[in-house]
Structure 1
Amino acid sequence: MHRAEHFVEVALDVDGSAQTLRRTYREIWSKPRGSSDLRFVGHESAFAVNGVEVGTKAAYDKIISEWINDNVFRMLTDPMYFNTRVDWKGRRAALLALVGDNIDRTAIQAQFADLLAEMNGEPLADFKARLATEKRKNKKELETFGPKIEAYQNTMPPAEDYAALEQEITQRESVAANEIAAYQRQIDALDTQIADASKIDEETQAAHDRRLKKVLDIKKSLSDHIDARLTAARRYNSDRDAAIMDAQAKADSILREIEKTETTANSKRDTLEACVKKQANIKSALDSMRAKYEAEKKAAFEYVDATTCYACGQPLPAATIEEARRAARESFEKHQREILDKLIADANLEKDTYSKLTKLVSTTEQEIAMLDQRLSQLRAEHHAVTLAITTAKDVPAIDLETEEEQAKLSSEYRKLSDE
């Protein structure tokens, strides 16, 4: 079960003392840096003795080993452990530990002293296995010796007459010494001739080097003469192109400013047009309010007296008729005043708006005039810069090939060429 601790526990009676062992197996969950979720990273085991946790398994096993040996405990508690799980060496050691070891080792060591020295502490079984392996290897190697010996005998040369060979070697060495001496005399004579010739060659080479240096110096002067003309021409072309590029950049900048100013001016004109339309609408609304006001102000009170009761049909008293007429007149006059007051208030709001629009129209017209003036100035500047660009482009650049040909036609260059 995930996130649950699984454990096994045993209670023992050790020499009359109650001891409890417990081993717990649990999962490890960790939250990596930068993450908000826990992640499973593995398992761990915890060990406790009598409810007190022990840090490591080694410490846990050490405590148990003080009570009883692990192998002895297994043999005492598992009847099949000795016969099935312990190898023959372990069983032999266990039986010897029970019955004792009374073998006379001194006599055995004296009898097999040579063998023991050869074994050098190695177990007998390993020693026997090693000897068997060496024996098989030596036997295989021995089988290959016969054919090898026969092959070597077949390749051996016949016996030589070493005295005759020594005499022949001496004769050949004498002849060779004479030939070497003759060749050495020829070499000495050739060395003398070479030394004399080398002196002449050195003087010739020195004169040649001087002439070659002078030729190289003149060629460098020729190259420098052309390079100076070409460098000046390149500088002129570069200055011309830079001037054209600067003028073009200025023209583009002015054109962008013209477009921006035109956009602003058009926006101002739209604002002005909207203000004028709104003022016209306000004038029309004020005229309508004025007409309503005059009409409402001139409206007369109209009322027809009710002389009989609507419920019973009996004639009404004169006082009741007069009171009804007075109440009707007051209601009419109150309603008329409310309508007139609202018309006056609405008209005042419209007049205030009209006044504000008048100021905005004046300000906007001034701004449009300034923008139109700025546009005229910018268009004049753009025209002047465009003419400057055209004039600069009309001036031809210096052709480098032509300039190089002109440099070669100069008197200084011809003089150096002749030299």
Structure 2
Amino acid sequence: MKILSLKLRNFKGIRSFEIDTQGKDVNVFGDNGTGKTTLADAFMWLLFDKDSNNRKDFQIKTLKPDGEPEHGLEHSVEAALELEDGSQLILKKVFQEKWTKKRGSATAEFTGHTTDYFVDGVPVQKKEYDAKIAEIADEEIFRLLTDPRYFNEVLHWQKRRELLLEVCGDVSDAEVIATNAELSRLSDFLGNRTIEQHRRVIQARRTEINKELEKIPVRIDEVKLGLPDVSDITNPGKLQNDIDILRERLKAKQEELAQAKAGGRVAEKTKQLRMLEAEILELEKQCRAKYETEIQEKRESLKSVQEEYFELMAAISGMEKSLELRHEELASIDNKITTLRAKWHEENNKQFEFKQNDICPACGQKLPEEKLQEARGRALAEFNRQKAEKLEAISADGKQLKAHADAIRTEIEQLSTKIAEARKELQSREIVVERLKDTIQNLEQKLKYATANDDTFKAKYIEKFNLEKEIAALQENNTEIIAAIQKEIDEITASIAALEQAKARLQAREAGMRRIEELKEQERKLAAEYEELEQQLYLTEEFVRTKVRMLEDKINSKFKLARFKLFNTLVNGGIEECCETTFQGVPYSNLNNGARLNIGLDIINTLAEHFGFAPVVFIDNAESVTNILPTKGQQIRLIVSANDKKLRVEVMQNDSSK
């Protein structure tokens, strides 16, 4: 793609400027501040609404000496382009202020900006304009191919690396393995994973193994510290046998004790006591049952009466509310009747008045007396008719209101009677409620002392007391024998506990020793696994080193000047991905401006060939380079020239590089 012409109007301080390139390379000369970089800014703004530094928010307007923009100007850029297929395209964009005169105001006010778009001289919407540019090239691809600095100074290294692999192609794992027989073992453990995925698995597992190996000695020490002392156990093999013998002796003594406690009459009397206690319990239930049943019945009656009481209260409340509403309605009707009565008297007291002009309006002569009397008679008759109709209507309304009032008074009397009757019923129910409450309270008091008033229960309780005294007397004689047997039982139990404790210590020590052996075996297995992982890691690193050499050679072969370092070797022998551009072994960041420019142009040439698209290349500070590398695309070289106080364009006639 070539620029055939470029026109600027009021753009970033350039009032009017036009380049006619004839599709050739162009040198633009100018002193600092004359607007050389503005040409690149204008072209990028025309395409992508950004300047040459990829900034969207930059000042387009021409500024006055005080720094304020000049108002009322149109800011435009127009370019005639020759596309890759030989066709031509004219793009134009106009940016201007919008001034609006509000209703009632004599002056217009600034209300924003507008941008107009043109394709081949035809106005279009922004969406159509952007779509047309997108047909030519993607914005990032365009910047890559038009700005020599973009690849190395703007693009992130990971994006640079991805782009190089896209342009030059990656090296497959199979190709790498085929170059080194030692790498054939990789397929044994890679499975479905890639080299990088397996390296991450190895690194993660190594870290995990290291953590485990660090913990094992600590765990062994903890187990050793927790091992119980068994130096006092002289016969570990006979411990269980000794415990079994003592348990048999204990069982025999416990049976002997049970027989001593249960002996003869004590057992018989105890049996009698249990039977008596059961009888007492049953008597107590019977004594309470008769009161509990009656109390329950009374409580149910109370609940029923209380529900009726509250329902009646609610009914009374409803009737009182209705009565109140009827009184209010009656008062309103009485007021209306009073008003109608006053209106009737007012209408009835009206007197006939007749005023008649005795001069004929047609001829101007005085009317005859008989005509005047006739007119008066008609007026009086009409007055009497209307008065009678109004009085009759008022009387009808009054009668209707009175009938309604009488009906309401009847309702009031009926409601008042019902309320009085309901209140009497409420009082009677309240008396029933209080009586039931008193009855329940008396029954509950009797329930409390139900057994105390029962002679049979009292007799049985006395019988129980006497039987307990007999049993206690019988047991007193057996106390010494029971105490002796119990002492022997306690001694045997203590001996068993001591032997059980010794056995537990032996078992705990044996378990601890087994755990130590398990940890040592785990340590040996982890060490063996770690060694195997180290071997695998070495093979993956050897694979990556081989691939690095092959990949860098493949990529570097695509460029004349630029060389690329795609991997860094770490202190531990490993490698990490990177993307550093070099020239004759010198990193891009340490190159002079001339070398940086030519390296950027070299990269542009390779990328242009890959994308099949060679747009114009803007070269800023071109005066600093004596031998600029030719490019596939048109070059516009921006050259600082102190003698040129205005921009000067020189079209290059010899264009052998294209």
User: What is the TM-score when the length of structure 1 is the normalising length?
Assistant: 0.48
Larger Rg: 1
Normalising by structure 2, we get a TM-score of 0.34
